[in-house]
Amino acid sequence: MSTIPLTSDKLKFVPVLARPARSLWRDAWHRLIANRLARLGIAIVVFFLFLAIVIPFASPYNAKIDSDLANQLLEPSLQHLMGTDEQGRDVMVRIAHGAQASLGVGLGAVSLAVVIGTLLGLISGFAGKSVDLFIMFLMDILLAFPGLLLAIAVVALIGPGLFNSMLAISVVSIPVYARIARSTVLSLKEQEFVTAARCVGVRSSHILFRHVFPNSLSPILVQGTLGIATAILEIAALGFLGLGQQPPYPEWGAMLADSVKYLTSGAWWVLLFPGFAIMLTVLGFNLLGDGLRDALDPRLRVD
Amino acid sequence: MLRYVIKRFLTVIPVLVGVSMLVFSFVRMVPGDPATIMLGERATAENIARVREQLGLTKPIYEQYWIFLSNALQGNLGTSVLRQEPVTEEIVRRFPATIELTLAAILVALVVGIPAGIISAIRRGSWFDTFSMLIALTGVSMPIFWLGLMLVFLFSVVLHVLPTGGRLDSGTSFAATTNLLVLDTLLSGHVDLFFQSLRHLCLPAIALGTIPMAIIARMTRSSMLEVLSADYIRTAHAKGLKERAVVIRHALRNAWLPVITVVGLQVGRLLSGAILTETVFSWPGIGRWLVDAIFSRDFPIVQGVTLFIAIIFVGVNLIVDILYAFVDPRIRFE
């Protein structure tokens, strides 16, 4: 929005324009903050990020200290607010430690997928012809598998573990970002500003990364945020199947797998709380992603 | 229409070839010798040689792929290493259980999701709308295996009203024909077994159906809201049509399209979800078999089931696309 000097007499007729100039991102941020559900999402995400970053520093995980066989499967009490598990470990402490695995893998997998996917998409859209056909063919093949199935198959082959599940989840979500980046390129590459840049002799790579790529940032940001939610569900699923984080390290999905054995003995706390942590984190990222979409969608920009 | 169908069919073929290559290379991508990994370090050289032979690992790679592909085209997906059973036969035996579960889940999702979405859209802002959208939002954020376990805990452990898993009570024997037990028991007149299989199906279907239900409800709502603000709806109201007629005859008909697409998109989620649901409820379908095979490192099963599910997934997407073009003529003339 152009700024008009406050002394201009145009102001008398168009007082709306007197609003101070704001950048696109600042504008989006204000809209995001104005959204109640998005604020809730931010609060949840910040809370779990705090757990994931601070807890491992404050009290590094130590399986020996953690295990306390005298206090097996205690019901929630003042000493153990969420009870203890079959090895006498405090469930709340383990959930707090588990945040690192879920958020770390979620963020890591999505970042990796965004970088690779966006690069492939940009190249695909810009190069066109056979390069485009080939890259999109590869993406179609990846999309021919239900996401979790492919992740399971990949982990089954490269071996279980947290890092390997991150790789698997990442591979599965590459096509999404490739498609977004490609469609941005395709819709922009015939536009005047690209032709203009080309005419003044700007290199292709510069046009691609400095002129075209920034336009795909907002859909990728929205998709990425929602993608973290999916990735957290997938890492929990792999953990539940025993393909993710290996014992004794805490991970929410693996904790749920352990709780199955004590289901019939009525130990509801080992079942309820880890699942609730997963749900809350995923909900947080979903709310944030929805909020970002509303805030960044230019069609809704009418203020 | 026929042109469109043929075109869509032709685009699927290269994808399926690519899928088969990827699945084929899975086993070859394993670091180390697959035969040794499968049999363990203490296996005899003889056994390793036998498995290598059986997997065709002694031949050049392009020849191996050609054999794999031509076998797969003839419906032969290899033989399980541990039990020496043909993978295809076992899939045929187990897949009906997965189909039964998946269909029941779709049914749950549609029967609850669509009316909830419609009512939410009509009574926008009401407590029903707020409440059902809140449920939908938490529904999509829930890990389904957790939901499944909670259902088991509540209905089986605490309330003792529904079984914890399996397809029939243990000790019950029943000679199934199609292996869709709900259908089989009904057709053969075993009413008690019919109800028994329904009771077993209840919890897994709810667990698997919840996420699609939430997504369908949200989609129906937003699609209905868009349509309800259209001019022709105002016209319909102005003509003096009853609310019911406006909603069902005018609005719903046009709100269908996005809903169909979303239902189609849920198939992948359902197939993935079935793997987890079957594990939670000891449901003897292909998902649980796959997980078991992963742990026993029986790669021909992993390879075969992965390929099979991918083919089903691609096939369903194809059908959805064609169905969509059938309902919306704009697509086939693009």
- Judged by a CB distance cut-off of 8 A, whether residue B29 touches chain A is yes
3-state secondary structure of B60: coil
Other CB atoms within 10 Å distance of the CB of residue B155: 18
Other CB atoms within 10 Å distance of the CB of residue A31: 19
- Judged by a CB distance cut-off of 8 A, whether residue B269 touches chain A is yes
CA distance A171 to chain B (A): 13
Output the pLDDT for position A178: 93
Mean pLDDT of A190-205: 86
Evaluate if residue A191 carries a pLDDT over 90: no
What mean pLDDT is reported for chain A? 83
**Under an 8 A CB cutoff, do B271 and A286 touch?**
no
Give the pLDDT band of residue A301 (cuts 50, 70, 90): very low
CA distance B69 to chain A (A): 16
Output the pLDDT for position B262: 81
Q: Please, are residues B217 and B134 in contact by the beta-carbon 8 Å criterion?
A: no
How far is the C-alpha of A189 from the C-alpha of A194, rounded, in Å?
Answer: 6
Q: HSE (CB half, 13 Å, CA atoms) of A287?
A: 25
Output the pLDDT for position B331: 67
CA distance A53 to chain B (A): 23
CA distance A184 to chain B (A): 20
Q: Please, are residues A231 and A173 in contact by the beta-carbon 8 Å criterion?
A: yes
Mean pLDDT of A171-185: 91
CA distance A78 to chain B (A): 24
- In degrees rounded to 5, what are phi and psi of residue B185? -65, -35
Sequence letter at residue B228: L
- Where are the domains positioned within chain A? 22-300
Least confident among A37-41, A137-141, A148-152, B251-255:
B251-255
What distance lies between CA A75 and its chain's CA centroid? Answer: 34
- Biggest distance spanned by C-alpha atoms of chain B: 84
**Under an 8 A CB cutoff, do A259 and B149 touch?**
yes
Output the pLDDT for position A163: 92
Output the pLDDT for position B179: 77
CB-based contacts of B306, cutoff 8 Å, min separation 6: A145, A149, A150, A153, B23, B26, B290
Least confident among A86-90, A292-296, B98-102:
A86-90
In chain B, alpha helices (H):
2-29, 34-39, 45-55, 61-73, 87-122, 127-140, 144-151, 181-187, 191-228, 231-238, 243-245, 252-280, 286-295, 299-327, 329-332
Q: What is the pLDDT of residues A206-219, one digit of tens each?
A: 888 888 888 888 88
A64 or B110: whose pLDDT is higher? B110
Output the pLDDT for position A302: 42
User: Does the interface ipTM go beyond 0.90?
Assistant: no
Closest by Cα among A157, A5, A256 to B148: A256
How far is the C-alpha of B197 from the C-alpha of A176, rounded, in Å?
Answer: 39
**Which residues from chain A sit within 8 angstroms of residue B272, using beta carbons?**
146-149
How far is the C-alpha of A110 from the C-alpha of A239, rounded, in Å?
Answer: 18
Q: HSE (CB half, 13 Å, CA atoms) of A92?
A: 10
Closest by Cα among B200, B208, B205, B204 to B174: B200
Mean pLDDT of A107-126: 93
| Mutation to test the A interface, candidates B24, B141, B309, most A Cβ within 10 Å | B141
Q: What is the pLDDT along chain B (334 residues), one digit of tens a residue?
A: 788 888 888 888 999 999 999 888 877 776 666 677 677 767 777 887 877 777 777 778 788 888 888 888 888 888 887 777 888 988 998 899 999 999 999 999 999 998 999 889 888 888 888 888 888 888 889 999 999 999 988 888 888 888 888 777 777 777 777 777 777 777 787 777 778 888 889 899 999 999 999 999 988 898 888 888 888 888 888 888 888 888 877 888 777 777 877 887 788 788 888 999 999 998 888 998 998 888 888 888 888 999 999 999 998 888 888 887 777 777 666 5
pTM of the model: 0.86
Which of B138, B140, B153 lies at the smallest CB-CB distance from A268?
Answer: B153
Q: Please, are residues A179 and A121 in contact by the beta-carbon 8 Å criterion?
A: yes
CATH class label, A22-300? mainly alpha
Instruction: Name the residue in chain A with its Cα closest to that of B142.
Output: A279
Which of A148, A271, A282 lies at the smallest CB-CB distance from B275?
Answer: A148
**Under an 8 A CB cutoff, do A152 and B294 touch?**
yes
Mean pLDDT of A101-109: 92
**Which residues from chain B sit within 8 angstroms of residue A240, using beta carbons?**
143, 145, 276, 279
Which of A146, A256, A259 lies at the smallest CB-CB distance from B272?
Answer: A146
Q: Is A132 left (phi over 0), alpha (psi -120 to 50) or beta?
A: alpha
- In degrees rounded to 5, what are phi and psi of residue A88? 75, 15
Question: What CA–CA distances, in Å, run from A104 to A213, A226, A231, B206?
Answer: 26, 15, 10, 31
A to B CB pairs, distance under 8 Å: 127
Identify residues of A whose CB sits under 8 angstroms from chain B CBs.
Answer: 137-138, 140-141, 144-150, 152-153, 156-158, 229, 233, 236-237, 240-243, 253, 256, 259-260, 263-264, 266, 268, 271-272, 274-275, 278-280, 282-283, 286-287
CA distance A276 to chain B (A): 8
Q: What burial letters (b/e) apply to B25-34, b meaning 16+ CB within 10 Å?
A: ebbeebeeeb
Q: CA triplet B80, B84, B86: central angle to 5 degrees?
A: 65
The partner residues of B175 in beta bridges, in order of sequence, read none
**Under an 8 A CB cutoff, do B143 and A153 touch?**
no
- Judged by a CB distance cut-off of 8 A, whether residue B137 touches chain A is yes
By percentage, how much of chain A surpasses pLDDT 90? 32
How far is the C-alpha of B45 from the C-alpha of B187, rounded, in Å?
Answer: 52
Which of B15, B140, B309 lies at the smallest CB-CB distance from A149?
Answer: B309
Q: Please, are residues A230 and A216 in contact by the beta-carbon 8 Å criterion?
A: no
Q: Please, are residues A270 and A255 in contact by the beta-carbon 8 Å criterion?
A: yes
B69 burial type by CB count under 10 A (0-12 exposed, 13-18 middle, 19+ buried): middle
Output the pLDDT for position A7: 55
